[in-house]
Amino acid sequence: MAFQIPKAVTPQEVAEQIQKGKSLNVLDVRELAEWVEGHVEGAKHIPLGQLIERHKELDRGQEFIIMCRSGNRSGLACELLYEKGYKVVNMTGGLTVWNSVLVRD
């Protein structure tokens, strides 16, 4: 049986929460070159390949919205972090969908 991520959220839901002023913990697990091209303001960046070594930089008492380009790597990151006792939410659709719903001033 495949691992089931306990929680998921859409980019639209995350954007709405940010627009309402809610403080969120967003973790971006894309590679550095992807991060440099654009990312969610305020997000923490730990590439998926470094997550095993760097996960202790995260507060286990906080819930993290995990994101990547499409939602696949973030799903893997959620599995890894959940198994280590973190509260995680996978942002399905990733930055690809985020860029299409982001409201610009």
- Residues catalogued as catalytic: 68
- For residue 26, give both structure tokens: 């967003």
Q: Which residue, 18, 10, 75, is CA-closest to 43?
A: 18
Kindly report the three-state secondary structure assignment for every residue of 29-40.
CCCHHHHHHCCC
